[in-house]
């Protein structure tokens, strides 16, 4: 599945990535009606492609992941891929084994 915050960007991806079947626009929060399927892939993967700068940091997202882990709601194999992100933030120890840093070139 590919998720974007913009319908025009989503349409560009839809035209280029024809092997992907599900596309979803999520604007201003988590308000959709798709049911989660944590058995779709061997490893459930969330990808963030971009940088973190100024006060824009993934701290709140990390707190949510830790809360989900603590509540037993992330009881399957998962990973977070950060593409092009500088390591200019604190990565909680509990999440380190799940986070992969990649350059924009895929290195």
pLDDT, tens only, 20-65? 888 888 776 555 566 666 666 788 889 898 888 888 899 999 999 9
Looking at the predicted structure, is the pLDDT value of residue 107 above 60? no
Is residue 81 within 8 A of residue 48, CB to CB? The reply is: yes
Mean pLDDT of the chain: 85
Written as six digits, the tokens of 24 are 């979803």
In DSSP notation, 14-56 reads HHH-TT---EEE--SSS---PPP-TTSSSSEEEEEES---TT-
Q: Which of 86, 88, 82 is nearest to 101 (CA)?
A: 82
CB neighbour list of residue 56: distance below 8 Å, 6 or more residues apart: none
Considering the entire predicted model, what is its pTM? Answer: 0.64
């Amino acid at each position: 599945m590919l998720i974007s915050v913009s319908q025009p960007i989503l349409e560009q991806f839809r035209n280029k990535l024809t092997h992907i079947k599900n596309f979803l626009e999520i604007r201003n929060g988590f308000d959709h009606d798709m049911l989660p399927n944590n058995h779709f892939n061997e490893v459930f993967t969330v990808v963030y492609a971009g940088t973190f700068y100024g006060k824009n940091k993934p701290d709140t997202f990390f707190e949510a992941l830790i809360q989900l882990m603590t509540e037993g709601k992330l009881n399957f194999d998962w990973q977070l891929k950060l593409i092009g992100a500088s390591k200019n933030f604190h990565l909680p120890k509990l999440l380190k084994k799940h986070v992969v840093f990649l350059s924009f070139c895929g290195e």
